[in-house]
């Protein structure tokens, strides 16, 4: 981000005299409508005229247009735009659509000349429309566009796939079956790869990395080995574009025949097909689409004739703009690498996110623990409230530790369990199937270690624990700090420690995201959808929904953005009676439109006096005769449920990365025949910071912590709160003093992705 050279510009006047057209093209993807909605509403907010290009599913229709491929078709399109005075085009689609849009922009001057010659437009009209700005948003469930972490629709497609995997898992375990699941991805294996990571599949076939020759024997050996270990379920994931090293297709039917003939296993295949494109978008895709729509409008209105056509996307949680044709070129390079048999290059060209997913998958699924042991004991524990994704992190940490040759120990019931000696070995098969389990299998408590340090130190010595992985929320962070402070008195605490943030509240200092927050966010969003639907018949109704989060307003804010709320009250942004009055006036006006319902979210601790009951009573009184009110306190349903694909994948990556760090740290701390770690960097929080997974010393994070309210002092998501208000049609000012610079593809990739 860099400072805008014109920071005083009024964002509500940026688009005056300008016209923007928005179109969706190519295959439909969940979340496109959120992107369209944001583009339209922010465009109108800036004072611009906004047009739909129909059939361009989404609300406005999505189509693959053959006419546009011919120059005559593009001339017709240019003529239509010129006649309406449109010189800004927002295109939501895949690489084909965006390449076509860029070609259209490149030809624009020539098309205008031909239109003037043909008498279709005047010289004056051509002069007014002399330059066409194009900004793209990538809508594709395959996530096959290089340069972007996540394309709109990918996360929702993963939700559909994982729902099926979870359903299949229960029936397959009952009958001791092998299931082969074919997912979309003709040229890109992203969906297959992340599905394999998220469900702990035995094997995955992707086009970027065909299996080695003789894979048939290897696959059968692996399945037989898993069955011999007591595993009742085998899962094989196949991308529709999977192929062998010599370029021949590998089909799900071919794999089924192999497994049935060689092993006589009861085997079933499921081909998901277009179910992956359907359904409601996930919270992630709604937020992605909304944020990208805002960024697209800003990119269009800030563009000059010298600005190349760009795509807007997220890198980690950071909005970025990338030259469209750079992204297209790298995407083509991947295809070329696969065609030429340069499969390692293909994986790398897909970007860091894809490469890390592949490396994590191969480590966790394809390597048996070594015969030579390290004689290191690593303990894993859960601390604080349970959340979805904790078990995925434990599984990855355990298996990565075993792969490193360590002995892995499970600590039950948090610091209480460590003090009471509830410690036992945990094996490879102990954690089978844990990625999809909600809650905490190990058991977890909120107890902090300060008052039981003596017992904890005795058990660290008794079980000869050399390193500690603490997975949990703010209590895990606080507990880690207390253990570090206790190093002065207890030498047993001088071991490497890592805290992995896992809490629905997303309030752990040192990380922009916590495991479990995405699952809670989807629960709130889907519940809000149902609540709003219940008013479809009655109309003129306002719902007040209370969310969890402690003093952290992340869930209320992001669910508000995802569910299209009219307001979200949070602790971090103080509310006064005038704010409540403004919201009531806003809702009264809204009831005069075609949308006769309202949604207000309230964080549980946003204000001690303006309680959910108070707000409900206030709105009920002020809305008499205009609208009636209902209130819903969502409670502990936000902590339950099976983890989303994001939380399974995030937990898996965090768990694996934490143990690799510990292994490295143990080598550094090994002195005179024993482990001794007392430097600040030997006790860290592993967190997602903007674009990277980073280890930050616990001691360094104290300065950024509001201990009274259990939240970080700086929180990235507060900057996107105005987007929710603008999309709800409030008259507020959007801060444009910071703007996103154009970046380049190679410099950009994030290790998180999804």
Binding residues for ATP: 27, 64-65, 94-97
Query: 136 exposed, middle or buried (CB, 10 Å; 0-12, 13-18, 19+)?
Result: buried
Can you give 192-236 as a three-state secondary structure string? HHHHHHHHCCCEEEECCECCCCCHHHHHHHHHHHHHHCCCCCEEE
Binding site feature residues for Mg(2+): 95
Where residue 549 falls (left for φ over 0; alpha for ψ -120 to 50; beta otherwise) is left
Half-sphere exposure of 292 (CA within 13 A, CB side): 36
Binding site feature residues for substrate: 140-142, 177, 184-186, 240, 268, 274-277
Q: Are 531 and 599 in contact (CB under 8 A)?
A: yes
The most distant pair of C-alpha atoms in the chain lies apart, rounded to whole Å, by 91
Angle between helices 352-366 and 190-199 (to 10 degrees): 40
Helix (H) or strand (E) holding 133: strand 133-138
| Whole-Å CA distances, 446 to 275, 385, 416, 450, 479 | 41, 7, 9, 12, 10
Q: Are 26 and 64 in contact (CB under 8 A)?
A: yes
What are φ and ψ of residue 379, in 5° steps?
-100, 140
Closest CA to 479 of 245, 178, 710: 710
Q: What is the DSSP pairing of strand 88-93 with strand 203-205? A: unpaired
Where residue 185 falls (left for φ over 0; alpha for ψ -120 to 50; beta otherwise) is left
Angle between helices 324-339 and 95-117 (to 10 degrees): 130
Quote the tokens at residue 151. Answer: 């394309």
Quote the tokens at residue 714. Answer: 């700086």
Measured distance CA(498)–CA(303) in Å, rounded: 45
Measured distance CA(439)–CA(385) in Å, rounded: 9
**Which residues, 6 or more positions from 589, have their beta carbon under 8 angstroms from its beta carbon?**
none
Measured distance CA(709)–CA(686) in Å, rounded: 22
Measured distance CA(164)–CA(166) in Å, rounded: 5
Strand, coil or helix: 24 = strand
Binding site feature residues for beta-D-fructose 2,6-bisphosphate: 446, 503-507, 541, 548-550, 604, 630, 636-639, 710
DSSP label at residue 495: S
Angle at 181 between CA 177 and CA 183, to 5 degrees: 175
C-alpha distance across the termini of the chain, in Å: 23
Closest CA to 396 of 654, 751, 753, 694: 654
Cα dihedral 395, 397, 399, 400 in deg (nearest 10): 150
Binding site feature residues: 27, 64-65, 94-97, 140-142, 177, 184-186, 240, 268, 274-277, 446, 503-507, 541, 548-550, 604, 630, 636-639, 710
Residues catalogued as catalytic: 142
Beta bridge partners of 569: 602
| Whole-Å CA distances, 54 to 18, 222, 293 | 20, 51, 18
């Amino acid at each position: 981000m860099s400072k805008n050279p014109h920071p005083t510009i009024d964002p509500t006047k940026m688009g005056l005299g300008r016209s923007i057209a928005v179109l969706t093209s190519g295959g439909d993807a969940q979340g496109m409508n959120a992107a369209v909605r944001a583009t339209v509403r922010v465009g109108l907010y800036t004072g611009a005229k906004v047009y739909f290009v129909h059939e361009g599913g989404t609300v406005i229709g999505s189509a693959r247009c053959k006419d546009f491929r011919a120059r005559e078709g593009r001339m017709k399109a240019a003529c239509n735009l010129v006649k309406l005075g449109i010189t800004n085009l927002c295109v939501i689609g895949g690489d084909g659509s965006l390449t076509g849009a860029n070609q259209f922009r490149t030809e624009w001057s020539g098309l205008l000349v031909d239109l003037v010659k043909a008498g279709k437009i005047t010289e004056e009209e051509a002069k007014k429309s002399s330059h066409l700005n194009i900004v793209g948003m990538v809508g594709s469930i395959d996530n096959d566009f290089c340069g972007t972490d996540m394309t709109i629709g990918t996360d929702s497609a993963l939700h559909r796939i994982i729902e099926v995997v979870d359903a299949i898992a229960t029936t397959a375990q009952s009958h001791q079956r092998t299931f082969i699941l074919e997912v979309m991805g003709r040229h890109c294996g992203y969906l297959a790869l992340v599905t394999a990571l998220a469900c702990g599949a035995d094997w995955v076939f992707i086009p970027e990395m065909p299996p080695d020759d003789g894979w048939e024997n290897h696959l059968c050996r692996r399945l037989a080995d898993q069955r011999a270990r007591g595993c009742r379920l085998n899962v094989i994931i196949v991308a529709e574009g999977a192929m062998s090293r010599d370029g021949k297709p590998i089909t799900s039917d071919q794999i089924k025949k192999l497994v049935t003939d060689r092993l006589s296993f009861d085997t079933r295949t499921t081909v998901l097909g277009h179910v992956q494109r359907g359904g409601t978008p996930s919270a992630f895709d709604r937020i992605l689409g909304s944020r990208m729509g805002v960024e697209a409008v800003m990119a269009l209105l800030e563009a000059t004739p010298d600005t190349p056509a760009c795509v807007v996307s997220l890198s980690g949680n950071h909005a970025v703009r990338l030259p469209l044709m750079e992204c297209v070129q790298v995407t083509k390079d991947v295809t070329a690498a696969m065609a030429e048999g340069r499969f390692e290059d293909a994986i790398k060209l897909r970007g860091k996110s894809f490469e890390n997913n592949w490396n994590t998958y191969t480590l966790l699924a394809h390597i048996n623990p070594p015969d030579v042991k390290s004689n290191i004991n690593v303990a894993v524990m859960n601390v604080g409230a349970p959340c979805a994704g904790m078990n995925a992190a434990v599984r990855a940490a355990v298996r990565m530790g075993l792969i490193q040759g360590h002995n892995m120990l499970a600590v039950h019931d948090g610091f209480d369990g460590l003090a009471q000696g509830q410690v036992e070995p945990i094996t490879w098969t102990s954690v089978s199937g844990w990625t999809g389990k909600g809650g905490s299998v190990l058991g977890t408590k909120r107890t902090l270690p300060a008052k039981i340090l003596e017992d904890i130190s005795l058990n660290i010595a008794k079980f000869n624990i050399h390193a500690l992985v603490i997975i949990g929320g703010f209590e895990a962070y606080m507990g880690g700090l207390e253990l570090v402070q206790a190093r002065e008195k207890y030498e047993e605490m001088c071991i490497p420690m890592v805290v992995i943030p896992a809490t629905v509240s997303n309030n752990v200092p040192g990380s922009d995201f916590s495991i479990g927050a995405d699952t809670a966010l989807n629960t709130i969003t889907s519940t809000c959808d149902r609540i709003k639907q219940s008013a479809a018949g009655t109309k003129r109704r306002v719902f007040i929904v209370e969310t969890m989060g402690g003093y952290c307003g992340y869930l209320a804010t992001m669910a508000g953005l995802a569910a299209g709320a009219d307001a979200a009250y949070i602790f971090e942004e103080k509310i006064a009676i005038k704010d409540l009055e403004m919201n009531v006036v806003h809702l009264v006006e809204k009831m005069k439109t075609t949308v006769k319902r309202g949604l207000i979210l309230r964080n549980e601790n946003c204000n001690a006096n303006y309680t959910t009951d108070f707000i409900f009573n206030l709105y009920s009184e002020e809305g008499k005769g205009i609208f009636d009110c209902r209130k819903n306190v969502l409670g502990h349903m936000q902590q339950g449920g099976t983890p989303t694909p994001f939380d399974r994948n995030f937990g898996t990556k965090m768990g694996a990365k934490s143990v690799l760090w510990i292994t490295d740290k143990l080598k550094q701390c090994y002195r005179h025949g024993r482990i001794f770690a007392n430097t600040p960097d030997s006790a860290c929080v592993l967190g997602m910071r903007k674009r990277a997974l980073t280890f930050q010393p616990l001691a360094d994070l104290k300065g950024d912590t509001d201990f009274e309210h259990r939240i970080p002092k700086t929180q990235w998501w507060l900057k996107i709160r105005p987007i929710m208000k603008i999309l709800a049609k409030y008259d507020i000012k959007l801060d444009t003093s910071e703007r996103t610079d154009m970046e380049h593809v190679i410099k950009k990739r994030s290790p998180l992705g999804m």
